[in-house]
Structures are given as C-alpha cells and as structure tokens.
Structure 1
C-alpha cells in the first residue's frame, strides 16, 4: 500500500498533482458581463462592533440606542465602513483573489442610511472596462461596478466602482510604462500653501470658519490627527476574513513570501477605515454620504502604525437637514515612516453648533 504521508512520497505526489485554482485571470473578464457572487453576509452586531472597535470608530450612534435615536435611527445600525467591507468581501473570490494591486475605488454611494443589523446581503458586479497594464506585462487592469443589495427586499444599499490589477494567463507585450513618462517629480514642500489652518472644533461652523479664514490667501485647511493604530495580525488577517475577503495577500504568508512586501499585507478597507476613524474622532459626524477618488498608494504590514491627515475642501450650509451641513474632506492615511498609503475624498453631514 502507498503511504501518502511518507515525506518523499508526498513530495512526489505534490509535484505530479494538478492544482484546482481559485479566482479568475484577466482574460476571463468580458466587458458588460454581470457576475452574481454566490456568498453573502448577514450583517451582525458582533461583526459591526468588532470592525468599529478594531479601527477606532467610536461614534455612539452605532453603539448606543439613545444616540441612535437622536441621530434618526430606530436602533444602532450597521456602521457604513463595515457595510462597505462586507459588500466588497464576497466579491473577492470572483474578481481579485488571483492577486494584484487594489488600485482604487470611485463613486461610493450609500442608497440607504441606517441599514439595520441582521440585514442579509446579496452582492453582484458588472465588468465595466478591461485594459492591459502599461507597466506590468503579467497583469491587466479591470474596473467593476459592485452593488450591495438587501437580499430580502432587493433594495440597493451601496454601490461603487473598483479598479484592480489582475494577473494574466499569458504576459502581454508592453513598453514598460515608459511612454508618456517624463520622470520629473513636481511635488514637494515648495508647492504647499504658506499656511495650514486647523478648525477650532468639530462642528460644521468650525469647518466653515476655517475655510473662510483660509480664503483669499495662500492657505489651506489641513491638519493631522494624534491617534495612531498599529496594525497587528488580527487586523491583517481576521478582519478581512470575517467579511469573506479571501484575497491571499491578507492571510497566506507562503504565497506572499516572494512578493514585494515579503509578508501578508493589510486589507485596504481596514487601513482606510482606521484613518477615517481617526478623522471622525475630531468631528461631529451626523451621517456619511459618499466617497470618491479613493486610491491605495503603498502596502501596510503588521507592525506599521496608521495615522490620519485631513484637508477640508468645502462646507456647504445649504445641504442636509437643519441640524447639519455638508462638509467635503480629503483624507490621507500614512504610516509611522510617513508613507502615504491611502487617500480619498469623503462627503459627510456634520452637526451644527448646538445640535
């Protein structure tokens, strides 16, 4: 009889065995195709509270019944960062499990505010565009629109566009990304405004006054947040796996050993949510509205500490309910060695003074 556990025999078996692959290659995506993602999640209190606690999102409306009622919710709802991660997670197996950089996300829109705990999700994606990578012949670039849907009612809850690099079955011929590249770096401290203004508080009027102070002069409303969160094994592997995110780069050390990071990297939505948690702790957020231009600039690994930086772009007092005004922010997540790792534009309603 064959002893399949004999080390030499088993090594020979591995060499001869075919691998049943997971995920799709770039060539498997056809523009216009709709992909129904088989799994889905039930949005639970435990999941939402674990996500919030690990990313330092402590808004009481998502924890306490009295605060939720004051915010117009019947009970503490699902946190929007957790909802967004739970919509993206089930899509990974079909879209990006093969690996490749998560380049960014655009047009994040919440179609329903205050999604109740216990809601069951259905997730689907449409392939919007496919193109070869100009710099990496082993990859292509794919953009999908993904929608998170209430499985019971069919009501859309959140939607967005996501762009990823996806491995090709066969490398394509490219110019290595040289065409159109000058190699000149125009960025640097010399391009910064002369003055950076910080708001005095976290109410809508504080942001409006800071913008007025910065107007008509070489100034910008921009500031950093004191809190930091050191990434650990739980945030690298456990949080994405809890959202059904099966991307190997978050939990498979063997697969990542020869990657540029040399080890598993943090899920971009964990890094993003942590930076936004830092920012929200310095403002009186009433409601999240949407996000755009989200980009991931570098990887984060266990041991990196994530901090947040915020620039205020606009404060519109004519939008929103009487108790709040709409503020547009640009947020940057950065690490303790000052590497920008995420940036994005966020729109939120912020409580007015006295609300």
Structure 2
C-alpha cells in the first residue's frame, strides 16, 4: 500500500463530505514581516502596534489576508492539489482579528459537485471554516474549484450547484471587539478620505504597478503551505509555466489599493471573487477599485466605523479607462481579478 498521497480527484468527492485538514499553522511575527516584504502593503493597523492600540485593537492584528491565505492553504492538499484552476469565492466573513501566536486549523464541507461537459474535469464546491486554538471561528468562506478526474470514464455524479449569496449582508458583518475609529489619525494612516468622501459608482485608479517575479510568487505560496502543483512544477501544465497563486494576485491588488483607499483598513468580508485570467512571472499588475455600496448599520453607532463595498480589479498592464467588461459582456482584456469585498473605514 502506497504511503504517499496523490491528492483527491473529482470522483473522490461526495456532497456532504466533511474534511478535517491537516497541519494547524501558528502565526508568527515572521509571517507579518514576510508579507510586508512580498507585498507593498502600508495599512496602518497591521503595520503599527501603536496605531492598532489607538483604535482599540491590542495586540495588533496581522493583515486579514494572511489569515485568509493560511486558512486557504490548509485546504489545498485535500481539495485542490489536482486542480486546473480556482474559480471563485463567496460568503467570506472575517469573524475576529488574528494575531501572532494564534494557531489556525481548517475544516471543509463539500456542498456541491458538477462534472464538466468534457468528462475530464469537474467543479467542486466547498464551505470552509478556520478556527483558532480556542475553537473560535476566525473566518469562513465558500469557494469552487475545477479539479481533474482520475478516470475519465468514471460516471458523473448527480449535479449539485449550491446557492450562494450575491453579497454578505452588511448587518452580518462582524466588527472586531473593541474597534473604535472615533479618534482616528488620518495623518498616521496616510490618507484623509473617510466614509463620506466616497460615492457609490466612484472609480479609483490606484496608479502603481508591481511586476511579478518567479521567486516571490513561489515563496509566497510556500509561506501559506499551498501545495498545488501548478504553482511550482513546470511539468504540471502543458505550457510549462508556473501559474501564480490567485491569492498572490489578491494580496498584490489589495496592497496597491492603499493609494486611494489608505483608510480601508480592515477587510470584513468577501462577497464574490473570480480569477478571470492566469498570471505568470513577468506580468506587471495594476489595480483599480469601484465603490459598489456603503453601509453603516445601527449596531455600529458610536464606533466611528462604516463599510465600503468595493470591487477590486487587478489588471495585467495599466488600464486608465478602468473597464471591467466589453460591450459583449465578457471581461475586458488584461483583467486578472474581479474581487467584491467589504472594507471597514472611519466615518
């Protein structure tokens, strides 16, 4: 009997299956430092313990996306080791800040399956939950991924495509305990613009770009213990290229969004996300955002906190027109990522 694990193929999944993912991961200050080295992030709450304490968060949380990447990475050996591509996200909520010393572990439930018409691949839908060492939920999310079949002649399962919400209701967003932005220092934060300064429909060109490098994207993927073959092994794809982990593009775009959204300090939820096109080393990534909605639930009165619903778009090469889709309804050329998220900002 083989002692090695080839990973799950499409026919290995069943609806209702619960997977306890291996290798709990303790976050350290090294994760914080490496994240800052790989991505040009400057958001003050994650950068400065003093600033974080001034808004009621002590100890200072790590970047929200560090928690997302670590929790996501736990699922890869069981869900997407044999993936063609990660297709989308929905219903992601960040329940509480993650700090250094926290240990995250992840569990997933298979909530949908649909074989593709080519008979060679299928889409697997999972709902994943990451908890800390105390058993508290740190974040949860739905994602769907296209996975190879081991046996192309294996019968297709009954198609189950789960319903997912188009958007996380702002009433269901969770404020970090103690967060208070009523005495917020915009000078230290790096930008003057608050909740009321943004209008629904407004687009923001984040201007700056970063060229992806082979070493950095593989380092980042290893940092999150993401074992998907397509990110490391040139023999895993017919074109012989290493595919950049989609989360690497998300973090790059989020970091670039500082220029124009410096006060969008915390990600509270991810409503939807699509990796529109593959990214490879040598591509230069730019980003722009569109304000889709604004919310300030009554329960947040007195906290100085509001939420912006933002469409964060990453592009290969800069698109000054900030065009998401062409007249045919298809994504415009150069779009790499279309991410719909809620971010917390001072009012």
Question: Normalising TM by the smaller chain, what interval?
Answer: 0.7 to 0.9
Out of 325, 339, 345, which is 1:344 matched to? Answer: 339
Out of 324, 330, 349, which is 2:311 matched to? Answer: 330
Whole-angstrom CA distance in 2 between matches of 1:170 and 1:19: 21
Q: Which residue of 2 aligns with 1:110?
A: 94
Of stretches 321-330 and 37-46 in structure 1, the one that deviates more from structure 2 is: 321-330
Q: Which residue of 2 aligns with 1:94?
A: 78
Of structures 1 and 2, the larger Rg is shown by 1
Q: Which residue of 1 aligns with 2:269?
A: 290
* 8 Å Cα contact 2:11/2:154 also seen in 1: no
Change (3 A) 1:298 1:205: same
Out of 8, 21, 24, which is 1:37 matched to? Answer: 21
Post-superposition, which runs of at least 4 consecutive aligned residues in structure 1 deviate over 3 A? 18-21, 317-322
> Which structure exhibits the higher relative contact order, with contacts defined as CA atoms closer than 8 Å and separated by 6 or more residues?
2
Which SS does the other structure have where 1:303 is aligned?
coil
Out of 119, 133, 136, which is 1:137 matched to? Answer: 119
Q: Under a length normalisation based on structure 1, what TM-score does the superposition of the two structures give?
A: 0.78
Whole-angstrom CA distance in 2 between matches of 1:164 and 1:348: 25
Q: CA deviation at 1:286?
A: 3.8
* 8 Å Cα contact 2:27/2:103 also seen in 1: yes
Which SS does the other structure have where 1:81 is aligned?
helix
Change (3 A) 1:44 1:131: same
Q: CA deviation at 1:326?
A: 1.4
Q: Which residue of 2 aligns with 1:51?
A: 35
- Deviation digits for residues 15-55 of structure 1, max 9, x if unmatched? xxx99552111010011111011112111111123123322
Whole-angstrom CA distance in 2 between matches of 1:329 and 1:99: 28
Q: Which residue of 1 aligns with 2:244?
A: 266
* 8 Å Cα contact 2:230/2:242 also seen in 1: yes
Q: Which residue of 2 aligns with 1:62?
A: 46
Change (3 A) 1:318 1:131: closer
Q: CA deviation at 1:147?
A: 0.9
- Deviation digits for residues 210-267 of structure 1, max 9, x if unmatched? 34xxxxxxxx3113211111111233211111111000111112323x14xx300111
Which SS does the other structure have where 2:277 is aligned?
coil
Q: How does 1:1-355 map to 2 (within 5 A)?
A: 20=4, 22-112=6-96, 114-134=97-117, 136-150=118-132, 152-171=133-152, 202-207=193-198, 210-211=199-200, 220-256=201-237, 258-259=238-239, 262-283=240-261, 284-318=263-297, 320=300, 321-336=302-317, 339-352=334-347
CA RMSD of aligned residues (A): 2.2
Whole-angstrom CA distance in 2 between matches of 1:69 and 1:276: 23
Of stretches 276-285 and 165-174 in structure 1, the one that deviates more from structure 2 is: 165-174
* 8 Å Cα contact 1:71/1:286 also seen in 2: no
Q: Under a length normalisation based on structure 2, what TM-score does the superposition of the two structures give?
A: 0.80
Whole-angstrom CA distance in 1 between matches of 2:270 and 2:337: 13
* 8 Å Cα contact 1:149/1:157 also seen in 2: yes
Of stretches 233-242 and 51-60 in structure 1, the one that deviates more from structure 2 is: 51-60
**Structure 2 alignment gaps of length 5 or more:** 156-190, 319-332
* 8 Å Cα contact 1:235/1:270 also seen in 2: no
